[in-house]
Amino acid sequence: MSMPFYVSPEQLIKDKADYARKGIARGRSVVVLQYGDGILFVAENPSRALHKISEIYDRIAFAAVGKYNEFENLRQAGVRFADMRGYSYDRSDVTARSLANAYAQTLGTVFTEAPKPYEVEIVVAEVGQTAADDQLYRLTFDGSVADEHGYVAMGGSAETISGALSSDWRADLSLADAVNLAVNELSKAGSAQSGAERRLTASELEVAVLDRNRPRRRFKRIIGDQLTALISP
């Protein structure tokens, strides 16, 4: 009679966490940061169809790194959650905090109960009437939630980018300054990984904002000539 194969719970959780971290580290980085008029999202993403940054509701947006099919499932679930809550109660009842809590439950359940965890890391952001009302929530593969302030970096170079942003970020940045700050740090991180100097161009970037000055729907993608003009040579 053969002995059943046994893995301790501690080792199983550690193996799952290591597996998810390796998958996320292979992804291109994303930067989310507050600027004077709202919240900026910048991702290294040459695809025009497969988005890492998306609108969830009137003043709420979503950014992710990792496996596309997994975070796309989360995005769609978030849109359905927001629409149902806004329809059943009131549009003002749809908040980034409630959405982050829903995502945390889903990610935590998958991490503990499914054979394979989601290889994703996401940010849920909500722009308020003032900068003090802005909300940034970072969620990791195991359902952990962190309430961030100022900026968030995700992906393989997250620690390096966060270290640089800690000294260069300011709350009153203009849109152009914020875009160039994010692009510079993403470019440096990419250069360090590849071993060759590079500067990301508009065609290699996905950029969007939650602009508190826009009426009702605050989300807007920045593309084409507008993005090119924002990126300093």
Q: What share of the chain is helix, strand, coil (3-state, %, to 5)?
A: 45, 25, 30
Structural domain for 140, as ranges = 29-230
On whether residue 171 sits in a domain, the answer given is: yes
**Residue 4 pLDDT grade (very low, low, confident, very high; cuts 50, 70, 90):** low
Domain assignment present for 151? yes
Going through 150-216 in order, the beta strands assigned E by DSSP cover 151-154, 205-211
Q: Is a pLDDT exceeding 90 seen at residue 5?
A: no
pLDDT tens profile 50-87: 999 999 999 999 999 999 999 999 999 999 999 999 99
The number of domains in the chain is 1
CATH code, domain carrying 41: 3.60.20.10
Question: What is the per-residue pLDDT across 30-45, written as a single tens digit (0 to 9) for each?
Answer: 999 999 999 999 999 9
pLDDT tens digits, one per residue of 114-137: 999 999 999 999 999 999 999 999
146 within a domain of the structure (yes/no): yes
Cα separation, 124 vs 95, in Å, equals: 10
Q: Give the pLDDT of residue 33.
A: 96
Residue 191 in any domain: the answer is yes
* 64: its two tokens: 């992710």
Closest listed residue to residue 21, CA positions, set 198, 158, 115, 185: 158
The answer to whether residue 1 scores a pLDDT higher than 60 is no
In terms of Cβ atoms closer than 10 Å to its own Cβ (0-12, 13-18, 19+), residue 8 is: exposed
- Rounded Cα distance between 35 and 220, Å, is 15
Residues paired with 206 in a beta bridge: 43
Q: Is pLDDT of 113 > 70?
A: yes
Per-residue model confidence (pLDDT) at position 189 = 87
Mean pLDDT of 153-175: 92
**Residue 167: pLDDT band with limits 50, 70, 90:** very high
Q: Can you give the pLDDT at residue 27?
A: 85
Q: Say if 226 falls within a structural domain.
A: yes
Phi-psi map region of 94: left, alpha, beta (phi>0 left; psi -120 to 50 alpha):
beta
CA atoms of 67 and 44, how far apart (whole Å): 15
pLDDT over threshold 60, residue 3:
no
Q: How far apart are CA 185 and CA 182, in angstroms?
A: 5
Whether 3 maps to a domain, the answer reads: no
Task: Give bridge partners of residue 211 from the DSSP assignment.
Answer: 38
Residue 2 has a pLDDT of 61
Q: How crowded is the C-beta side of 134, counted as CA atoms within 13 Å?
A: 26
In a domain, 10, yes or no: no
pLDDT reading at 195 higher than 90? no
- Among 59, 65, 24, CA closest to 206: 65
State the pLDDT at residue 8: 85
CA of 87: how far to CAs of 61, 80, 100, 104, 178, in Å?
18, 10, 19, 22, 35
Residue 15 located in a structural domain: no
State phi, psi for 128 to the nearest 5 degrees: -105, -175
Phi, psi of 36 (to 5 degrees): -55, -40
